[in-house]
Structure 1
């Protein structure tokens, strides 16, 4: 354990207190989290909206700026991966349990209860997809792209440890490695824990629902606890046995399964309708992007609650995931230029996510709008399987989906233990197994505690609260890299003269 830092010990103490609170007094924790969530959503919704918009504007600025030619590595360094492989990796970073959990459930939920206008209409269908694209599109990937760029720049060009605190050295000087730096890294650790724990909780709930459809076993917390325990053993094994190739193969299998599921689903569902719907809603999304991205509802309480529960929650979730996904994207992007990196990370995963929701969500809307089925009346966990029952090859679709959720579960948790290990061992690329095991335990324990103390509601609270201080860190990182980019361009000018 000689490699661990103060960040590890401080984080462990806080994580132990949180998990202990959830085990001893889950109801009290649930009440506290409800109160906290209401306060943050009503008081700081504007802050999350402006922050998400800031990252999108900053990402676009970097694409068109003079800094676009700066390389993430030495000037003569070639990219580590060929472009098609790199694109596939960006796609796999965007693929996750969330796309399967919300693929049908979010668009049909918005269709029944839209943020604007009357539910169940043709206009509501378009608005539903438009807002789903907003939540999973350019804003989300701008947050990831900016953070990944900063981490990659300092890791590969400046040869610094991959820590959030280190990237703030241009602004903070020596304080970045002192007490303030420790606080910054602890904040990143907790945002990662809660962001990933929420996904694990969603995954367990959906695996339970799928098994219930196939075998008739009940949907219960006990079953979900068993599922989390089994998957915890699997990702602990993969994280500690050093079978890096195994995880790579699993990730590739994930990608192949996801593509197969998408294509099969597209052709079994009303294909022509879905392609028309994708085309028209994509244009509508781009056209309405600025107003949707800054929309709050100060004069309409019902609309305000909708925005808080969906849009603000998503901005907080993506911010909480930024250290985790950003670290992954940074690791595979060595040798790319700033411009190439920002365009690819912003555009490719966004288009994949948008098309995914058009296909899955559009199918759910089709069955409710044209066939009169009560798709939106299903629970978030079961609605995907309900739609599968309206299609041929139901059993095959369910089996592929359960395999996907399980492998996403394992690979996400495995990657998260690595990132948490790295963040608490001064950026080590080979954190000790015992550190990864400890973080694996706390990831699963946090997921269980959140499920026990209020389910999705508690998960939302943990994400929104942990993302709040992290947002300040991420904005500071943006100005930090701008300062270093400016210095670098000045040095190049002097050398040319």
Structure 2
């Protein structure tokens, strides 16, 4: 029944976007303005709270608890585990925004910073670190930990409702089915947002390499073809399709990063990383709670609030997927593995690509900012055009986006199938195909309704209700952690008492 209701709702949105894209864009724009104005503060507080909560759990004795039985071992190596969670969590977005975001902030600077200045360049890098660093991975980590805790320590089903049903409040328990539906809708639109951006960049990459036209028609074709690819991958299962594709693409992304680091302004990249890491750490709290109550600015809503909504909308999908591949790890290992390692990888990525782009824009007069103003998806290729082996790197980047498109799509199809079939870890191929078709349809309808702006708008709108569900999940997880920690402490005290008794005899 849940599958019919959620899939039916999403299908209606898809039809709406295709039949009347102007009307859909207008409604979403109105909703976006209201949510950003009235609930932006809620996104800021919730995401900062998740960062604090995650670190508190990791550094205290709660981190000693294991996701599973005492004898359970991880199903995947650290390398494969990291590659899968990174590919599912951020792949397309990093490639899309690696150059475009720092340059965008340089041209259209945060409030209080003069555009086109060294201060704007520093702010652009700092906010890129901020938007792709600890905060998004804290959202993923806490949601994934909540699901994994109740799945592996309580032998529950891999569903959002399994977590919220652990709360002792009857009204919340009655709404657990609704929470699953909200998770499905948030996931479908969050993933579609990334797939839409991926299609834009693949189209720009093919245009740069082969002169292919950049148009909505081509982007629809790209989404259709890649949707077929990720549905085929999803049917093969996690142990083969997703694992191998994620590992391959992580290797290719590392090679591309190394090439830009070596062929680009190497010293400037190192200086950019060093300077930005320091300013990020020193400005972390201020950026986390930044709002503009006395300034007429859309900057925070268009960037930070959008990103926090994007991560929240992705969190049920990424959370369920990370939980699916994380059995046997301690909570401390889990949190540090899902927060610190991906954060550092994102910092390196932005330092290499964003730092190179800013250096070339400022010191070499390469017109990357003009490319960003004309079409955000072309920023990366504009930088490659001014570098040695630019054509080869453009090809590699397009391939990276394509494979990330497939890994994000097949991971999403798996998770949507799980959520809509009562938590079945291996949903039937027919269910995966249904969700693959719907997700592709959402991406197409959003592109037709206004391109990147419509994608961002839909993400913020559909993430709002699920942000409240995340708060309930944190409360349930905290109650579960306290209960299990007390039981572990009691067992340890009993063991020590018995050891003392044996030594005294």
TM, length-normalised to structure 1:
0.95
Pair 9,370 (structure 1): closer, same or farther in 2 beyond 3 Å? same
Which position in structure 2 is the counterpart of 1:389? 385
- Deviations 1:364-385 (CA, angstroms, capped at 9, x unpaired): 1111111123211212111110
Structure 1: tracts of 5 or more residues without a match: 1-5
Contact 1:205 1:224 in 2 (8 A): yes
Which of 305, 313, 318 is the equivalent residue of 2:311?
318
Contact 1:100 1:405 in 2 (8 A): yes
Contact 2:88 2:411 in 1 (8 A): no
C-alpha displacement of 1:242: 5.3
Is 1:455 the equivalent of 2:451? yes
Which position in structure 2 is the counterpart of 1:351? 344
Contact 2:187 2:313 in 1 (8 A): yes
Contact 1:316 1:464 in 2 (8 A): yes
Which of 178, 198, 206 is the equivalent residue of 1:203?
198
- Deviations 1:5-57 (CA, angstroms, capped at 9, x unpaired): x2211102211221121122111111111111111111111111111111111
Pair 80,244 (structure 1): closer, same or farther in 2 beyond 3 Å? closer
The root-mean-square deviation of aligned C-alpha atoms, in Å, is 1.6
C-alpha displacement of 1:94: 4.4
Is 1:224 the equivalent of 2:219? yes
Higher mean C-alpha deviation, range 315-324 or range 375-384:
375-384
C-alpha displacement of 1:121: 1.5
Q: Map 1:378-457; keep pairs closer than 5 Å.
A: 378=371, 379-457=375-453
Which position in structure 1 is the counterpart of 2:324? 331
Contact 2:414 2:432 in 1 (8 A): yes
Which position in structure 2 is the counterpart of 1:375? 368
Which position in structure 1 is the counterpart of 2:498? none
User: In the aligned structure 2, how far is the partner of 1:114 from the partner of 1:191?
Assistant: 30
User: In the aligned structure 1, how far is the partner of 2:73 from the partner of 2:237?
Assistant: 27
User: In the aligned structure 2, how far is the partner of 1:89 from the partner of 1:193?
Assistant: 19
- Deviations 1:290-343 (CA, angstroms, capped at 9, x unpaired): 0011001111112xx101000000000000010111122212221111122112
C-alpha displacement of 1:461: 1.5
Pair 183,281 (structure 1): closer, same or farther in 2 beyond 3 Å? same
Pair 91,34 (structure 1): closer, same or farther in 2 beyond 3 Å? closer
Question: SS where residue 104 of structure 1 aligns?
Answer: helix
Pair 277,52 (structure 1): closer, same or farther in 2 beyond 3 Å? same
Contact 1:165 1:176 in 2 (8 A): no
Contact 2:82 2:337 in 1 (8 A): yes
Is 1:86 the equivalent of 2:119? no
Pair 352,390 (structure 1): closer, same or farther in 2 beyond 3 Å? same
User: In the aligned structure 2, how far is the partner of 1:263 from the partner of 1:278?
Assistant: 15
Question: SS where residue 392 of structure 1 aligns?
Answer: coil
Contact 1:34 1:457 in 2 (8 A): no
Higher mean C-alpha deviation, range 482-491 or range 196-205:
482-491
Higher mean C-alpha deviation, range 16-25 or range 217-226:
16-25
Pair 90,237 (structure 1): closer, same or farther in 2 beyond 3 Å? closer
- Deviations 1:398-440 (CA, angstroms, capped at 9, x unpaired): 1111111111111111111100000011110110111111100
Contact 2:317 2:415 in 1 (8 A): yes
Which position in structure 2 is the counterpart of 1:108? 103
Aligned positions, number: 489
Which of 95, 98, 112 is the equivalent residue of 2:93?
98
User: In the aligned structure 1, how far is the partner of 2:74 from the partner of 2:206?
Assistant: 43
Which of 160, 166, 169 is the equivalent residue of 1:170?
166
User: In the aligned structure 2, how far is the partner of 1:161 from the partner of 1:176?
Assistant: 17
- Deviations 1:85-144 (CA, angstroms, capped at 9, x unpaired): 434444434441111110100000101121131112222111110011110001111111
Higher mean C-alpha deviation, range 383-392 or range 16-25:
16-25
Which position in structure 1 is the counterpart of 2:302? 309
C-alpha displacement of 1:197: 0.3
Contact 1:166 1:176 in 2 (8 A): no
TM, length-normalised to structure 2:
0.94
Is 1:125 the equivalent of 2:118? no
User: In the aligned structure 1, how far is the partner of 2:238 from the partner of 2:119?
Assistant: 50
C-alpha displacement of 1:175: 6.0
Structure 2: tracts of 5 or more residues without a match: 495-505
Which position in structure 2 is the counterpart of 1:364? 357
Pair 425,175 (structure 1): closer, same or farther in 2 beyond 3 Å? farther
User: In the aligned structure 2, how far is the partner of 1:242 from the partner of 1:52?
Assistant: 32
Which position in structure 2 is the counterpart of 1:151? 147
Which position in structure 1 is the counterpart of 2:62? 67
Contact 1:68 1:339 in 2 (8 A): yes
C-alpha displacement of 1:267: 0.7
User: In the aligned structure 1, how far is the partner of 2:23 from the partner of 2:88?
Assistant: 36
C-alpha displacement of 1:64: 2.3
